[in-house]
Structures are given as C-alpha cells and as structure tokens.
Amino acid sequence: MLITFEGIEGCGKSTQVDLLFDYLNGKGHRVIKTREPGGTAYGEALRDVALRKNIEVFPLSELLTIMAIRAQHVEELILPALQDRAIIVCDRFVDASYAYQGYGRGIDLGIIETLNRLVTKGVRPNLTVLIDCPAGLGLKRKAKNDRSLDRFEKENLSFHRKIRNAYLKLAKEDKNRFFVVDGKAKVSVVSTIIRENVESLLIRYGFE
C-alpha cells in the first residue's frame, strides 16, 4: 500500500506524514516513511545537489534529476516494500513533478507523463493526500522556521500559487485517488481526518 502526501511548501505535509507514520506504527503495521526527492542513499545525495540555493538549474535538467531519484526510489525501496506488503507513507511522489516541473517550470506535461511511466514501473499511489493551503500562509510558515530556504522555497508567491492551483487541478482530475484536506485547520484536526480516511482504505485492502 502506497500513501503519498502532496502540497505546497509550508502546508504541513511533513508533520502529517510523521503523525500518520507514528499512528500506523503504533497500531503494529509494518510502515515505511520516505520522501521525494530522496528516499535512498543515492537519491538523498542527488537531492542535496538539486536543492542547493546558489546553483542555476535548467528546468529539463531539474526534471531529469527528480526522475533519476524516483527511478532509484522505486527500484530500491518502494517495489520491494510493496512486495513485502508494507504500508509506505511517502512525502511527495509522481504528482509533484506535474505540479512543480510541469505547471511551475513550464515543461510539457506529456514528457513528464512519459518519464513518470518509465521510472514508476507501474507503481501507483493507492491514496494521495493533498494538504491544500494558500500560498501566502505556506510561505509564512516556512519563513518562521529559522533556517535557510532551498531553491524551491526561495521561489516567489506567484510560483507557489501556480503550484497550489496545479495540485487542485490534479486532484480534480483523479478524484478516486486524491483526498483533499484543508491545511488551514489545526494539526490535530487535519491528522484525524487523514487517519479516518486511511483507516477505511486499510479495511478495503485487507490490512485490518
């Protein structure tokens, strides 16, 4: 079972990934928490390079770096975990490429789809939780965390608005897979809503 989380910077994604992981873990499930870009030793090392602030990266090169990371992630971690009937909770996956490199950077969506198909080897998320939140709120939250911002976080408000709208569009186009939560709500409220949704999914797939 693959559960992915998507959303703009500062939407509360990582917090909710942690909370869901702890919850499922506490219930005795075999759960793996992972993220993109990253998730493997090779992928995390590429991520470090790809997010560096002071380096200029062309959109196509950025996309191919993300795809290199995803190819490694799928083969090294996700496919074996799925065969092992583990529950994978993943912070960003295929949809982030459409949102960021497609709608955000302007790369042709068909190219992204072709590459996603090549690297995922048929893996599709069973559930994608989109934590929706206004771009201004997300950026304000990020700025509060007292650390330097990476290449994506440094983008301006209009870029992050584009990403938010892209995610909402993607969710609308694939209603069966996406579950949209209001990221403006309290952390505990958001986590409860997500838990309920995941619980019904686990029952449906025979995990409970």
Q: Which residues in this chain contact a copy of itself in the complex, by CB under 8 A?
A: 41-42, 45-46, 49, 52, 55-58, 60-65, 67-69, 71-72, 75-76, 111, 115, 118-119
Give me the least distance between CB of 159 and a copy of itself, in Å please. Answer: 20
**Which residue's CB is nearer to a copy of itself, number 107 or number 181?**
107
Instruction: Quote the CA–CA distance of 51 and 31 in Å, as a whole number.
Output: 27
Q: Residue 84: enclosing H or E segment and its boundaries?
A: none
Least Å distance between CB 40 and a copy of itself?
9
Minimum CB separation of residue 95 from a copy of itself in Å reads 19
Cβ contact 112:98 at 8 Å: yes
> Could you tell me the smallest distance in angstroms from the CB atom of residue 49 to a copy of itself?
4
Cβ closest to a copy of itself, residue 64 vs residue 168: 64
Shortest reach from residue 104's CB to a copy of itself, in Å? 17
* Residue 59, both tokens: 């959109």
Peptide bond preceding 134 in cis form (omega within 30 of 0): no
E strand or H helix that includes residue 178: strand 178-182
Nearest to 63 by CA among 92, 34, 106: 106
Distance CA 91, CA 182 (A): 17
Question: Cβ 174 to a copy of itself, closest distance in Å?
Answer: 25
Q: Which is nearer to a copy of itself, 93 or 167 (CB)?
A: 93
What order do you get walking across the sheet with 87-91 strand by strand?
A: 31-35, 87-91, 2-6, 127-132, 178-182
CA–CA dist 93, 167 (Å, integer):
12
Closest to a copy of itself by CB, 26 vs 110, is 110
62 vs 132, beta carbon nearer a copy of itself: 62
What is the helix (H) or strand (E) element at residue 1, kind and residue range?
none
Give the residue with the Cβ less far from a copy of itself, 28 or 110: 110
Say how many C-beta atoms besides its own lie within 10 A of residue 25's C-beta. Answer: 15
